[in-house]
Every structure is written in structure tokens, then in C-alpha cells.
Structure 1
């Protein structure tokens, strides 16, 4: 361990936040202190809407069964990929250098993950903008866009500039506040609608079969890969494998069970309240501002594309507070993970990185350009494919670490520039899974990628594309330094 490892890090080190290096052992934290990050990134209005869509599709009873299955799946994949990053001490995209893609090949992981996470940053900035102008009755205008998006961007940059410490404090505070507000809004929705919990529990759509149940599973479990990669960025700070389990399992339970249950109650009860509000002639202007020709179409639009306005209609200023409490923590976490992915992308492609602070700013600029270029619908259309790609990436890293390397972090002497077996397996399995899903042959494209990618990778690694074929290797750098060295703890401790 370096001689200065126990010293208080200077400001530059705090800002850089080990973006391209292994987290030193003295900076590791407990799983409970990291748990707020995985819980916070998934407890948003968007995910509440996803939870409601699950039970609207499969019915409340089957929807909750699907939620439990998704929680188990998310826990396993979250722990496994988190364990890989905890062992190396590096972010998810830097870890792909050692396990799956190679030093320069890890640019593929950064491209996929950065596009997805910054897409969410842009989409959820737009959610906050539309919710804000709806709350105050403002008209969409250039001045309002500059003012609101400008303030939001500055806040995300400030919150994420000073590393994990500040991000974690903000996430913990807002997660607690958000949880309390979710409970209050749930009570308000039940009270205003006169819908009972028994009514919610009894809800079943006209037709529920295998197709509807697998569709519901795809809705919630399809984002598990992306959530696992976000969680892995925080798992690099975990002390032990047990700490990784806490943040992975806890986050999966919050996202897949708690949020789904709350979303189910709020939207099933709240739809009646929002429908009455929009049908009232005195609210004709607000109704006209939402897309859709009929009230049900407007509610569907608000639930999926403008949930901030939905919650404001449902509970007034309380809904406005819920919108900002839920989204602000997620946006700071999105910016944080996006900056890590961009840091690795620049280093992998150009062999240098201008620093994480520049990447924080760049990530927010990219989000603003996506909004300005009016390409949010196009980004949204790619999220299904990106969900499959992130699941394949997780599977690739997991099988390389646990199967090929037998649970040992990659030795730091030499690393491949491109791991062609991993690149082919990830892209090939994702392409097939996406085609099967888009052609209607299955709803479970993410599951196809999860199974096919590791099988293809192991087969290629042991035959056509063994280690070192078709590529050169490079000497280890600071980014390849292992956090868990055999001299620092016993071998049996590493395998925990």
C-alpha cells in the first residue's frame, strides 16, 4: 500500500474519486453506508410508473410475483457484478478491462453504459422541466428552458464534483425524505379515490396468460443489468463481499418490490383522481397541455412521460416535492456513474483522460444537447436494446471472473488490448436477443442475452479466440492495481 494511503486526500484526489484507479483499502465502506445509493437510483417516479405497468399488465397478484422474481434476479446479478468490481476496486467500465473486454475494448462498455445513463439523465431532466412548468402554469419557452435546465445542470455538477462522499450524503437524505413522501402520497391517493387496498389487491386485467406475465417480467427485470452496473460503481468502495450483498440485495428489494408495490397503489388509486381532474371543465387548459385525445390516453401519457405532472395533479405541492426528492438523488447518481463511464471511454480510446470533473461537465452537456436536439424519443426507443447490452455485459464480466478466473481478480502484469472473444460474445448475443424480442418471438430478450453471452464467451475463449489472439497486451497501469492483494488478506477471505 502506498505510504500516503492513510493521509487525508487532497481536493484534487477527492474530485478525481479513484475514477481510473483501484479504491484503496482505507477508503472502503460498509454495505449499509452504500445502500442508500442503490436504493436511491431506483426509487424514482419513472420506476414507480414501471412498477404500475407491471401490475397493470399482469394483475396485482401476478405482478407482485413477477416483482419478487425480478428482485431475486436483480440481487444475484447485482451481487455478482458488484463482487467483481469490489475485488478489483474499480468502476464497472474500468473492470471490463480485466474481465471481459480488454483495456481498449472496454470502450465498448463505456459507450453502451454512458449512452444509457446519460440518456436517463436527459430524459429525467425533461421530466423535471415539464413538471416544473406544469406546477406553476408557465408556458414552454426558451427562457424557461434556459433557466430551469441551467439551474438543474449546475446542481448536478456541484453535487457530483466532490466524489462519493457528497453524493452519498445527498442520496441518503433524499432517499429517506422520498420514502416518507411516497407513503404520504399513497395515503392521499387512497383517500381521494376511495379505492381500498382490497380493490387494488383484487385487480386483474381481462386476460392474463404466459405472454402477459413474461411481458411484465421483461418490463421490470430488463433494467436489472443497468442497475447492476450502477451498483457496481459503488461496490468498488465496499470492504467485503458481504457488504456488496447488502447494497445489491437491499437495492433490488427496494426497486423491485417496495417501489412496485407503492407504484401499484398510487397509480391504481390515483388514476381515478387524475381522471376527474382532467375531465373538470375548469381544468381544460391543463388537460389540453397533455398528449392524447381522450382522458385515458392523457393519463397514460402522464404516467409514462410526464409523471411529475401526474403527481402534482394527484397531491398538489406535495407531489411537486415528491418529484424533486425522487429525481434529484437519481440525477446526481446518474451524473456520477456517467462521469466514471466517460472517464474510462476517453482513457481507453485516447489513452488519456482530462479528469473526472471534465467528464461530469461533459456528461451534463451531452444530456442538454440531447434535449436541445429533440432526440429524447429516439433515445427512449434504444433503451430496450441498451438494457439487453448491459445485461450481456454483466454476464460477460461475471463468467470471466467466477468461471475462467475462478473468483480471482485479474493479475496486473499484462492485460489484453482487445478481448475479442468477449466483444464478439457481447455483441452477438445482444443482437440475437434484440432480434428475438423485436420480432415478437419472446418478451425476455434480456434473459436470452444473460444465458447466451457467457456460453458463447467460454466457447470462443477455449477455441477460436483464446487469450492474446488477434491483439497485443499492455503493461499494467495505476488503473490496473488490484485492491485485494494476497499479501493484504488471506486467500479464504478473498473468496467470501
Structure 2
């Protein structure tokens, strides 16, 4: 590998001052999970379909059944199905560019966000939002599992919350390798237990379909825009799920002429395509809630364990009903909450390391994320689920729409944002007003709408406002700033190209002169004070800034 002509690799084994590389187990975690950095080709040995199966295993959560049931019981089947459809379309369209960038350039959503309008420190805002998403949904899934343990074994809810939290820790320690095995082996059993009861009820009792379609909801009336948008707002809280999908898709193999078809199939299926299964589960949640409503009451009809015990009771002996329902809930909870704990730890670690310039290791934040989730469970968040998700969706929509718009419009149409994503310290400005302003205004105004600040009539339109404002302001800010704040400099001081002939990140290796480990070309930049190269994590932990390249004279010109 060559760098700028004046650079020569030093022969000293001494670690230069100024950076604090990871040590001990933290270093091992970094190489296992690539927590804060580009995922190298040498590690990405899975086929596209294995990566896709692993990613789809992460959406086995039961929350969809509760979300769909809550919307359906409140607004009726017609409004619920329309709301689910509207949200699914928005999630698919915004998720596609993010999934493509994660799979193509092998970086997670935080790294994509940095170079797509937010800047090196600006994306800390969205990392915190994503981390919040993971522990909110961990708490939701843990609550559902605790309900199952209470019904099946008589355990008090507080103990069920603790068990559902602690049992995922051993599975999250080993990262992608362990998660791949878990998701691949449990997915067939999960699908059979989820889909089997529904097909049986439809086949043996067609009248349940008519009852389901005719259900008017507690508010009565037909389909109306306000009810649809209120329901869609709750469903759109799941828009941030694409972040967890990208955490898996970043391990996709390079896209080549030979694997082009399977590569694209896997990206679409496991990227934005997750919402197809998610929407189906929400619709099933409405169906099962209506089916069991007369027997368990409106409050319990939103609990997946009650929905599936009611469905299983129609098709098998009573002694099998509760064990199978509990098995479904436990398998689902484990499949999704290992993903929630894993992705949340990545997001928290990213934020903490950039702000403090210290890397304590990913496991610290696995435990912190689980602690937040346990507190929410003990506070009985399940009882006010729709309120939490309706509020949260405004922030999530503003973030995802801003990044997706930057990729589609600013990168490919206006060409004001560099197409190849950048995430390394020194290459980016601390804050890019394009994404930060668009996100802040979109989320702030939509939250004001959600809390009736502009009147009751506009309250249902808060998710629409978040999406529209972000979509309009993102290109407007890029045009206003002329794209000046995307790149702090246009060269990283290394002569060899970042991408290979197929447009994939180059696998060429060089040694970081701080931590003395080898990394692939996209993870490195030239050192400012030494004739060598430095990896992205050592740049992030450089407390003095000695290794960080200076800004280009006069600022870089937009590409």
C-alpha cells in the first residue's frame, strides 16, 4: 500500500502518544464485531442468503401483534389495515437506500448517518435515538415474555422481567458469529408456530374472517384519515428497525457479477423487505385480538400470549396449548432481544467513544442498555405502549427520512453530497447543518403537533409532518450551504483507491501504527504527525488530535 510520497512507515515498535487504542477484551470485541468501524472483507465469509436469514431472524418480535391489536381495537379493522399499509410503504421506500449503503459499503447506520448530512459529532443525536429504540423494544419484548412466563409457570411479572433481561447476555457476548447460528436454526420453528394457528382458523372457521373485517373498533365508524394517520404514527415507530437490519447487512459479501442476483435479493428481502413480514404480523395481531376479544377482554386481547393461547386452543389438546404458546413467545423474545441488545450496544458505544474519546468495550453498553430496558419493564410500559411509540415515531421518522433523502436526492440527484459514504474523523466536519437542521426542525415541529400544541385537529398528522419537513428541508439545506459541510477534506492522504474495480471497498491491508493491527483500506487514513497510517478507531480515541488530518486549506469544494 502506498501513501503520500513524503510518508514512510516508521520502524519503531513504540506506540505514538495521543491515541488510546482498545486493549485486552475490548480489542478482541472490536475485531469480532467491528463495533465502530467498517466491516472488513476478510471477516465477511457468509453468503448473501445466510446474512439475509440472520437479519430477518431479528424481526421475530411479538410487538407487531400488540401494535396491530392496539390499533385495531381502538380504530377498527379497516382503519388498522389502512394504517399498517401506509406505514409499510413509507418504511420500505426510506429503508431501501439505507440497506443498499450498509450492504454495499459494509458500514452500520450510524456511520452512514455521519456522511449523509450530520457530520462526525452531529450523528451522536441519532445514535442516541437509535439506542433508545433498542431498549424501548427490548422492554416491550421482555414484557411479552414475562406475560408468557406468568401464564405458563406462574412466575410474578417482576421475576419474568429479570429473566428475560439476563438470559440474552451470554448470547450477545460473541456478536455476529453466535447470532447467525441462533437465527438460522430457530427461524423455521418460529414461522411454523406463528403461521400455523392462523391458517387453521381461516380454513376451519371462515366466519372468523368476516368478524375480523367487520370489527368497528371502540370508537366506531368507518375508515377516516385521522384514525388511519394515528394508527400509522404508531406503526412508523418501527421505522428505525432498518438500523438493526443494517447491523447485519453490513456483513454482506462484496457484490460481483457472479452473485449479483442473490446479493440484490438478500439486500431487498432483509433490508426494506422486513416490513412486509412486519405488516403481516400486525394484521395477524388485529385478527387474533378480534378473535379472542369476547373471551379475554380488550385489555388482555393485546397480549400476544393471550392471542396465541386462544388460537392454539382451537386446534389442539388443552394440555399442549399453554406450552406451545409459551414456547413461541420465548423463541420470539430471544431472537429479537439478542438483536436489540447487540444493536443498542453498538449505538451507545459509538456515541460514548466519539464524545469521550475512550473505548470501554461493547459489553459495558450491553449491560447499560439492558438496565434501561429493565427499568421500563418494571414501570409497566406495556400499559401505555401506544403513547410511547406514537411520541417516539416522530423522532425516528425525522431521522430516517433525512438520511434517506440525503442519499437519494443530495447524493444522486443534486450531487451536492459525496456518493461514497465517509465516516472517519478528520474527513468530516464536526457538525453538518444539512442533516442536523432538517432533523431538529422536523422532529421538533412534529412532536409539538403530537402534543396538541397547534390544535387537536392537526395532532394525528404529526408523523406526516415529520416526514414532509425532513424531506423538504434536507435538500433545501444542501442547496443553501452548497454542500460545503459534507467533507472537511477530499483526500485521506493515501494514494491507493478506496474502492476496487467492482466498486466494492478495497481489501488491501496496512498496519495501524498506533494499535499495531492490520486493517483494510477503507478503515485507514494517513497520520498527520507520523509517516504512517492510523485506523478509524484509533483516530476516534485520539484525545490530543495529534494523528487527525487538518482541514483542507480554504475548505474542500463540494463534489
Alignment pair present for 1:174 and 2:177: no
Q: Deviations over 1:231-274 (max 9, x none)?
A: 22222223447232121243121111x213322332221223x3
Report the aligned-residue RMSD: 3.5
More helix per residue: 1
**Partner residue of 2:278 out of 247, 251, 255:** 255
Distance 2:154 2:252 in 1: 45
Q: Deviations over 1:409-437 (max 9, x none)?
A: 23567111111332121011111112223
Distance 1:380 1:198 in 2: 26
The alpha carbon displacement at 1:355 in A equals 1.9
Taking the TM superposition and a 5 Å limit, the aligned residue runs for 1:319-468 are 319-371=325-377, 381-406=387-412, 408-411=419-422, 414-439=427-452, 440=456, 441-463=458-480, 467-468=484-485
Alignment pair present for 1:24 and 2:24: no
Confirm or deny: 8 A CA contact 1:99 1:401 kept in the other structure: yes
Count of aligned residue pairs for this structure pair? 445
Give the alignment's TM-score, normalised by structure 1. Answer: 0.78
Confirm or deny: 8 A CA contact 1:233 1:337 kept in the other structure: yes
Distance 1:56 1:38, change over 3 A: farther
Distance 1:382 1:62 in 2: 20
Distance 1:203 1:252 in 2: 24
The alpha carbon displacement at 1:181 in A equals 0.8
The alpha carbon displacement at 1:461 in A equals 3.1
Taking the TM superposition and a 5 Å limit, the aligned residue runs for 1:296-335 are 299-304=297-302, 306-309=303-306, 311-312=308-309, 315-335=321-341
Confirm or deny: 8 A CA contact 1:193 1:270 kept in the other structure: no
Distance 1:372 1:59 in 2: 30
Confirm or deny: 8 A CA contact 1:15 1:161 kept in the other structure: no
Distance 2:290 2:306 in 1: 16
Instruction: Find the counterpart in structure 1 of residue 554 from structure 2.
Output: none
Distance 2:383 2:196 in 1: 32
Taking the TM superposition and a 5 Å limit, the aligned residue runs for 1:101-250 are 101-139=118-156, 145=159, 148-186=160-198, 195-205=207-217, 206-208=220-222, 209-220=224-235, 222-239=236-253, 240=255, 242=264, 243-250=266-273
The alpha carbon displacement at 1:22 in A equals 0.7
Distance 1:63 1:120, change over 3 A: closer
Instruction: Find the counterpart in structure 1 of residue 499 from structure 2.
Output: 486
Runs of at least 5 residues in structure 2 that lack an aligned partner in the other structure: 3-25, 256-262, 312-320, 413-417, 505-559
Confirm or deny: 8 A CA contact 1:99 1:410 kept in the other structure: yes
Confirm or deny: 8 A CA contact 2:234 2:386 kept in the other structure: no
Distance 1:327 1:192, change over 3 A: farther
Confirm or deny: 8 A CA contact 1:98 1:410 kept in the other structure: yes
Give the alignment's TM-score, normalised by structure 2. Answer: 0.70
* 3-state SS of paired residue (1:196): helix
Distance 1:486 1:475, change over 3 A: closer
Distance 1:368 1:437 in 2: 27
The alpha carbon displacement at 1:178 in A equals 1.8
Instruction: Find the counterpart in structure 2 of residue 287 from structure 1.
Output: none
Distance 1:476 1:366 in 2: 41
The alpha carbon displacement at 1:72 in A equals 3.0
* 3-state SS of paired residue (2:118): coil
